[in-house]
Structure 1
Amino acid sequence: MIIDGSNTLPEFQFESFLDNNTKNEEYSKLFAPRWAQLAGWSKKEFIKKLEVDSFESVMEEIFSTLKISLSMENFLKMLRESNVAYHAIHNMDYGRDGSELPVDHDYIAEILNNYPNRFIGFAGYNPHKGTESLKIVRKALTEQGYKAVVLPPYEHGIKADDRRYYPLYSLCDELDIPVWIHSSINYYRETSVYIDHPSNLEAPLTDFKNLKIIAGHGGWPWIPDMIAMLLKYKNLYVDTSAFRPNYIATPNTGWDMFMYYANNLLQDKIIFGSDWLTLGIPINDFIKEVEDWPLKDSVREKFYWKNASQLFKLSL
């Protein structure tokens, strides 16, 4: 059994990149070949398409194909066949414009209601939208079945220890709700690569004694700093989503220290997360690569579902 703590819905993953602004362009070019592969195209076919049509039109064709192959029915079938008991839905609230309305949380709430005990809703908070965003997050957590909150500091242009996040941290501390925070490299050229450094989690962990934080994407390339934080703070957890498992298990990629400590001192702090939709790897193939990790059986069980079940109060 597996609980995937870092993911979204296919429609969210691909629709967000059809809005090809200057920020999304970097991510689109990085992940486009992988999405083409997920759609059944070879690398050669993808390159040939780009020689004839614009990048935007090729991406639209890819996403149109994926919209069919990853319909909700097919999507749920893939999860069942891969023994994924719960799948995260990160409902991010992107942007740095405080005049925009908070992201809608009703649509995901409807999905959580229609497919009980299948998804974990992560409510998106945006500090630039202040009280209005906080109200929507509170409703999501107390009335609509969401079990966590998700934050992308690189998208908001501020670090995780910025005081504008503190009203949200206070709410999660009060409700005993975990917060997933992007804590790894970002590829936005106009945004500092260090904005998501794991050390930015230290102040909120210190200031809110009961606040539980999941460091999303493992802290790479700052793995030693991430390990130090995990060893020190009892309420800090980590996932390794958005990286190929084969890459993580390969020596000299920067993950060596993580793989070593995962089997012992960090075994109660590690959470399975994939972001397989972003990577363009079918979830079953992703899991096969994780199976090659040198984890003890007891640790693998904690990593796959036990730690997450306790953190999200799933009672499995």
Structure 2
Amino acid sequence: MLIDFSSRPPHPDFNPPAPHLQNYRRVYANSEARSAGADEGQGLKSWLETYDRLNARHVVLKARDLTTTFGFKISNESVAGFVRQHGPRYIGFAGVDPWQDDAVATFEHAVRDLGLRGLNLQCFELKMTPDDPRLFALYEKAVELDVPVNIHCGINFSTQTPMSVGKPEHIDNVMVRFPQLRAVASPPGWPWVQELLGVAWRHPNLYIGVLAVRPKLLSKPHSGYEALLQYGRTILREKMIFGSAFPMMPIGQALQELQELGLDDETFRLWTSGNALRLLGLPEG
């Protein structure tokens, strides 16, 4: 069973112009070129067929609303429409603009009326830290609706927002204030990986998204990710959630590199499906 917690379809609704992410294109140029050359990079049909071939149970798609900060939006309606069209394999997370007065109402509408199953907060794009008080009402609503929140963690390459907004300590503050919140910190916190491990260890409802990083780096000396593998295959193995982060990396290659880490069968199952099912509140089997 496979759950890909991070993938973006090669579809116009999911790929509007994003000038604020131009530096990402420089940083990820080589890996995105590999995605473009892979089968799943040749269009939506091939992308869908890749998940058919992998017999994926679920693929998580994330909306983003950066209207105030960058004039960028992947709308909740577009994500919900894609899910309706392509079936229950696909699960949508809502995106809202917390600078707008209707953010909480928009989030509730996305869950109750559009059928989305979580909230996506790319805080560096929102130009606020995860523990900004303007987000508190959204966390409260997520607890009320019993849906998880994805919170960006670690470095960002936008250069229009300080990278310090991604420090794990901000997520620690959120979890202290909202201990019932189910949340996932993703990507996995580099260059503050050990701090994120400590935060996840402290809080039962916080998971770590192993995405937007080549899995092979987890076993590479001096990469800064070694502790993620050490703790992720032992005491924190029920915290790790895999995502390919396509198109940053080909789906198949990300999964192959994960398989090559030498995780035992049960740990591999937890990373690739069991933990995500628990975060999403879905039954196994």
Same fold (TM over 0.5): yes
Counterparts in 2 of 1:162 and 1:190: CA distance versus 1, 3 Å: same
- For 2:218 and 2:72, the matched residues in 1 are separated by 38
Shift of 1:80: 1.6
SS in 2 for 1:172: helix
Shift of 1:95: 4.6
Identity %: 25
- Contact 2:154–2:188 (Cα < 8 Å) also in 1: yes
- For 2:112 and 2:209, the matched residues in 1 are separated by 25
Report the counterpart of residue 278 of structure 1 in structure 2: 248
- For 1:37 and 1:299, the matched residues in 2 are separated by 28
- For 1:38 and 1:4, the matched residues in 2 are separated by 16
- Contact 1:105–1:136 (Cα < 8 Å) also in 2: no
1:147 maps onto 2:117 in alignment: yes
Report the counterpart of residue 272 of structure 2 in structure 1: 304
Report the counterpart of residue 288 of structure 1 in structure 2: 256
- Structure showing greater radius of gyration is 1
Q: Deviations over 1:159-215 (max 9, x none)?
A: 000001111101001111110000011012232111111110122211112111100
Code of the aligned partner of 1:176: D
Matches within 5 A, 1:244-259: 244-259=214-229
Report the counterpart of residue 85 of structure 1 in structure 2: 57
1:31 maps onto 2:2 in alignment: no
How many residues were matched structurally? Answer: 284
Shift of 1:269: 1.0
- For 1:252 and 1:224, the matched residues in 2 are separated by 13
SS in 2 for 1:10: coil
Among 90, 98, 105, the alignment partner of 1:127 is 98
- For 2:73 and 2:27, the matched residues in 1 are separated by 28
Q: Could you list the runs of 5+ residues in structure 1 that have no partner in the other structure?
A: 42-64
- For 1:274 and 1:127, the matched residues in 2 are separated by 27
Structure-1-length-normalised TM-score: 0.83
Structure-2-length-normalised TM-score: 0.92
Query: Could you tell which deviates more after superposition, 205-214 or 159-168?
Result: 205-214
- For 1:134 and 1:165, the matched residues in 2 are separated by 9
CA RMSD of aligned residues (A): 2.3
- Contact 2:40–2:46 (Cα < 8 Å) also in 1: no
1:228 maps onto 2:198 in alignment: yes
Which structure dedicates a bigger proportion of its chain to helix?
A: 1
Report the counterpart of residue 109 of structure 1 in structure 2: 80
SS in 2 for 1:150: strand
Query: Could you tell which deviates more after superposition, 268-277 or 155-164?
Result: 268-277
Q: Could you list the runs of 5+ residues in structure 2 that have no partner in the other structure?
A: none
SS in 2 for 1:88: strand
SS in 1 for 2:94: strand
- Contact 2:64–2:75 (Cα < 8 Å) also in 1: no
